[in-house]
Each structure stands twice: as C-alpha cells, then as structure tokens.
Structure 1
Amino acid sequence: MADKTAQNVESLGFFARIIQFVKQVISELKKVIWPTFREWKTYLLVVLVFVGAIMLYTGLLDLFFGWLSVLVFG
C-alpha cells in the first residue's frame, strides 16, 4: 500500500507536489481547534508573566555577579 502512494507522489510533477502539499496543509489547518479570545488573552498573560519573571531573575543574577566581580577584582 505504501509503495503505491510513494509511486503516485513520485509520478507527480514538481508543481503538482507543491499544490498537493498546500492542499494537505489547508486540510490539516481546518482540523485545528483555535482558542477563543478569552483563552488567547489568558495564554498571552501567562507568557508575559513568565517572560517578566525570567527577565527579573536574569537581571538579579547580572547585578549579583557584577557586584561580585567588583568586590573580587576591585
């Protein structure tokens, strides 16, 4: 069964394969369950809070190691 599918794909021309790929992508995108606006806002808020926390953590580490290097190297 897989051999027939492989032969059919190989027999298609270059542009026919591109068109087939785009059709398959559109078909798969129709199956996606997109988030509602409320879910989208929640996800956005979670990402922004997480990025802010990582920025704060990295900034504090930078300040600490900067202070430590001044202390050690004068």
Structure 2
Amino acid sequence: MAKNVTDEPSEDVVANAKAERATRRSPFGRVALFLRQVIGELKKVVTPTRKELISYTAVVLVFVIIMMALVSGLDLLFGTVVAYVFGDGPVG
C-alpha cells in the first residue's frame, strides 16, 4: 500500500512564505523559486506498486465500460422515444 503522507504547513513554512512574499524577487528569482518548489513537490510523489497500478487501471476500465453502456442505453431509449413522438416509429 502507498505511504500516507500528510502535507500540512508548519509555522516555519508559513513564516518563510510570508517573508518571501514580502520581498520582491526578480523574474529569474521567481523562476528559481518555482523550480525549487516543483522539485520539493516531486520528492513527495509515491509511485504505486505494480499490483496497485494494475488494480487502479482495472477499476478505471470497468468504470469507463459501465459509463459507455449507460450512455449508449440512454441514447437508444431517448432515440426510440423521439422516434415515437415524431411519428417515425421504432428506429431499429
């Protein structure tokens, strides 16, 4: 199972963010800060195991198939109702 990491800001992180916001940065400084923050966030990413990845993929595929069947069924139903209302009779 993937690690459960809470990402709650502590007082020092908030204080640092307020201090950084108070000082005006050059465009290069802002890009460097952005890249440091991106790298920091990427270090928090947990890669799923092979078993988890296969499980998540199967769940997504089953959900997509169910939704496709639901939308297709509703399309057929509404198409038939519209055909009866406008007098053409059943479509299929």
Q: Which runs of 4+ in 1 moved over 2 A?
A: none
Structure with more contact order per residue of length (Cα contacts < 8 Å, sep ≥ 6) = 2
Alignment gaps of 5+ in structure 2 = 1-14, 88-92
Q: Find the counterpart in structure 1 of residue 73 from structure 2.
A: 60
- Greater helix fraction, Structure 1 or Structure 2: 1
TM-score normalised by structure 1 residue count? 0.84
Number of paired residues?
71
TM-score normalised by structure 2 residue count? 0.69
Offset, 1:7: 2.4
Give identity over the alignment, percent.
42
Q: Find the counterpart in structure 2 of residue 44 from structure 1.
A: 57
Alignment gaps of 5+ in structure 1 = none
Whole-Å Cα distance in 2 between the matches of residues 62 and 36 of structure 1?
39
SS of the counterpart of 1:32? coil
Q: Find the counterpart in structure 2 of residue 35 from structure 1.
A: 48
Whole-Å Cα distance in 2 between the matches of residues 48 and 13 of structure 1?
47
